[in-house]
Structure 1
């Protein structure tokens, strides 16, 4: 009986053993946080004071130790050993990494140059996971160069005694492939011709999975699309038939509402309703209202996809905006014709604005009264970034020009030019991003609204200053804007953890009262920032300091990378 009670007590203690904190010892290559995730724990970061320290049931330790060893082996440490111990009421995983497997030789037999895809160089640590991924990337690379069938023989010969790996890639492509017959199946009043015009390939074109990827993006850009399937799995020799199936949302009426906050505009509220397939063929019409502490508007808009990647759109809006020193109310009517030819986007527009400047405290720089402007506008954009929300490589260029001639419909003869570009370069410890923009206005006759000028400062400009607070001011201390601007920014973004990144940045701004800024007078800011990763983009906090006067600074909050 006593033995039974003793056994019961021991068993009960084992089943209900108190969870203990966890530590790692001996790990040099991988951080504690990485190893915590391997065993299923996610401890709080140093500033997450509201979260309690995660603990582990001692009964699970024996089963988790092999996980750590297998993780090391999957990253080239074939001789790694792990064991566990309990010291001072703490579970300690003792890790002996030992020497990793090093790459001794790489052989690549390939019709195309696959060296940039191979993730290894001689004497690098051999990583089996990276090796498996490289095989997928090589197949994808060939598929983007017209080879739909590739025989890939990739092997890694590992000498455990010498800790060496010999890697061989042998790629034997078939004949170059072409897109075959294209079948399109649509529902909900969508014409197959409209979908066909959104594809970036046609029958007889050279085969490329990149063209299929672009086609997905182009079709999903139409808000009425619920699902797209582009099936290119049926290979008939060098011919690749394609089956395209498209379905629209069964409930085309979409209501949206949202709220947010930014350091530039304060509280933001948005509400709208749209029909995403009115009268069929993905035509959209809707109404939208937005309010912030700086800008408010209500607009009716429409968008109509046309053949050959053209789109026709337009809107009518009533807008109110508050500036330092004056307010502005306007009625805007706009018609756009757009065309997408990847990676280029073109837009030609005609817009009419009836603008009233009110509540001015400066009749010289901000005269009260009404103006009307009737302008054509043209723009071009090329976007080769790997991500719109959080780019890590690639570039984006944009050019926009508008102007008018004084007439019964326009109170000014002027032109306005704006050029911008950004470039993202991955480095070993993060991403370096660059941005440059230039804008100029030339007034030849009449008057233009003061809001047409360039205002600097804010999260999308020079971050040592608050929104529109940089540059020349009137006697009341209100910014009057500039007729030309050049701005540049450099950011270094590097990870702190899986969810957080740090940023170091510098901005420089030049302003002028002619079409060329005064390059003898730079405004320079420097500062740090932090990013928290979310599904809708990183939540960002930046603090900018004036390089020449650190007592001047500004704090900026926004969602998404700035460029």
Structure 2
């Protein structure tokens, strides 16, 4: 009796059995435990006291019911010094019929077809998506009558979506409440709607993003909850940081640059109206810079900024020191973003061991730059669907202000598509530089290899090299990446990737000579983006590989 009571009180490891649809890791989370991943070798398997098991069986059964298994049963036993929880999933509820009554097409928002397993959680989520869809199409007072009739005896579900919208809504009076240091017209210029415009919840979300893009904003509330018929008055309340001077310091590490140290000070509401003035410095084992910058919002979703600074960068085979100045004008025309810049670069190349490829000396370049971007991704830090396209062009004409006539173009695109097992992501890049007269600094060329390039190689180590073994760079580049991102619970996901790189010494790369990398990676989710570790291998020589560490998805 004493021995049996000891066994009942002692915590034992857990094993699940019979759970074919819902995996072990998910069931561990249901009962409040976390199963270690295979690489978390330092963690032991979770244990549970047998006397605490019975109440948890009800949790498991209810969880199964919330996913369409209305007849699921769970029971437990102790075998070989471990708790075995046996699940009988039994026959799930299947969707027999889906009926829709809707003036707008909502078929793509409904996650069910005949024969699918009925999932109450997906049903609730689909109602939210439909309401959001109508709110983005002017209907602020939609009446949504949805029902799911479940026949437990026949294991059948009959689903009805009945949508009755009101008349199309428009924005009513817009009231802005802001502190004295910010004029209401500045906040109004950041909004993506005006009085009388068609109502849309999406333009409210865009307005939130653009207002919060100003670093001086502490909090903004856009209240559109009080409707007057089909008019939606909006009340906007804005607050700024009471202490506008912001000091930052930081330290980090990446496989490309090694140790990173950073410090900065910024006034986030300099003389009011959300203007900023800042000074920042950054040091790594490869790069270092100090820079002063200023930024101000302008009417009609425009911004002006300027910065000036000094930079030092170490390349294999030479060093560079630069004095840089830049003036920018930006326009936001959602989903398009434009920027025009004028860049002055005074660069000195030194410590060269190859005067032919890296000539020592000073060069001055005055370059106008234009760029365009369209970003339709669902997230900046961790995108799962959508696309992003960018185009950038710059150049100069040889004169007393510039030592070269040249042009440089860079085109990039990324596409993300979700699947039941995870996300497939694709990225393409093409760049070319052509020097027609004079010289440009050797750093203007394209260098490949590293975590943002071909991951079978270390930072800037891919491509032709001189007699000293230093990469000389390329005048054109085409790169492509395919990643499969597969979740492993709520915090981790695995990645399988392939990178391909083509380089050339003219404006077109040599497409007959590809450099192909393959490899695995792992991501750990954090509030500032996923922490990533990748291992890339050259497909033609698996002994050539590189390990990369970074924060955030690469694209």
Q: TM-score, normalised by structure 2?
A: 0.98
Mapping of 1:105-144 within 5 angstroms?
105-144=97-136
Task: Tell me what 1:268 maps to.
Answer: 260
| From 189, 192, 201, the counterpart of 1:200 | 192
Mapping of 1:523-534 within 5 angstroms?
523-534=515-526
Q: Which string of whole-angstrom CA distances, capped at 9 and with x for unpartnered residues, describes residues 104-141 of structure 1? A: 00001100110100011110100011101111111110
Determine helix, strand or coil for the equivalent of 1:471: coil
Mapping of 1:28-39 within 5 angstroms?
28-39=20-31
Determine helix, strand or coil for the equivalent of 1:406: coil
Q: Give 1:15 deviation, angstroms.
A: 13
Determine helix, strand or coil for the equivalent of 1:218: helix
Task: Tell me what 1:250 maps to.
Answer: 242
Mapping of 1:492-507 within 5 angstroms?
492-507=484-499
Counterparts in 2 of 1:363 and 1:15: CA distance versus 1, 3 Å: closer
Is residue 2:396 matched to residue 1:404? yes
Q: Which string of whole-angstrom CA distances, capped at 9 and with x for unpartnered residues, describes residues 208-259 of structure 1? A: 0000000000000111111010000011111100001110011111111111
Mapping of 1:40-55 within 5 angstroms?
40-55=32-47
Q: Give 1:54 deviation, angstroms.
A: 2.1
Task: Tell me what 1:67 maps to.
Answer: 59
Q: Residues of 2 paired with 1:261 and 1:400: CA distance?
A: 29
Q: Residues of 2 paired with 1:14 and 1:71: CA distance?
A: 31
Task: Tell me what 2:357 maps to.
Answer: 365
Q: Residues of 1 paired with 2:167 and 2:488: CA distance?
A: 47
Tell me, which stretches of 5 or more residues in structure 2 are unaligned? none
Mapping of 1:290-439 within 5 angstroms?
290-439=282-431
Determine helix, strand or coil for the equivalent of 1:503: strand
Q: Residues of 1 paired with 2:423 and 2:60: CA distance?
A: 30
Q: Residues of 2 paired with 1:500 and 1:442: CA distance?
A: 44
Q: Which string of whole-angstrom CA distances, capped at 9 and with x for unpartnered residues, describes residues 167-221 of structure 1? A: 0000011110001110000015111101000000001111000000000000001
Task: Tell me what 1:468 maps to.
Answer: 460
Mapping of 1:106-185 within 5 angstroms?
106-185=98-177
Q: Give 1:283 deviation, angstroms.
A: 0.7
Is residue 2:446 matched to residue 1:454? yes
Q: Residues of 1 paired with 2:86 and 2:540: CA distance?
A: 51
- Indicate if the aligned counterparts of 2:397 and 2:404 stay in contact, CA closer than 8 A: yes
More displaced, 62-71 or 328-337? Answer: 62-71
How many aligned positions are there? 555
- Indicate if the aligned counterparts of 1:375 and 1:402 stay in contact, CA closer than 8 A: yes
Mapping of 1:540-559 within 5 angstroms?
540-559=532-551
Q: Residues of 1 paired with 2:56 and 2:417: CA distance?
A: 39
Determine helix, strand or coil for the equivalent of 2:162: strand
Determine helix, strand or coil for the equivalent of 2:519: strand
- Indicate if the aligned counterparts of 1:190 and 1:281 stay in contact, CA closer than 8 A: yes
- Indicate if the aligned counterparts of 2:26 and 2:489 stay in contact, CA closer than 8 A: no
Tell me, which stretches of 5 or more residues in structure 1 are unaligned? 1-5
Q: Residues of 2 paired with 1:79 and 1:558: CA distance?
A: 46
Determine helix, strand or coil for the equivalent of 1:409: coil
Mapping of 1:74-93 within 5 angstroms?
74-93=66-85
Q: Residues of 2 paired with 1:138 and 1:462: CA distance?
A: 42
| RMSD, matched Cα | 1.6
Determine helix, strand or coil for the equivalent of 1:116: helix
Q: Which string of whole-angstrom CA distances, capped at 9 and with x for unpartnered residues, describes residues 241-292 of structure 1? A: 0001110011111111111111111111111111101111111111101011
Q: Residues of 2 paired with 1:26 and 1:377: CA distance?
A: 62
Q: TM-score, normalised by structure 1?
A: 0.96
Q: Which string of whole-angstrom CA distances, capped at 9 and with x for unpartnered residues, describes residues 349-392 of structure 1? A: 01111100000001111111101011111111110011111111
Determine helix, strand or coil for the equivalent of 1:125: coil
Task: Tell me what 1:3 maps to.
Answer: none
Q: Residues of 1 paired with 2:362 and 2:443: CA distance?
A: 13
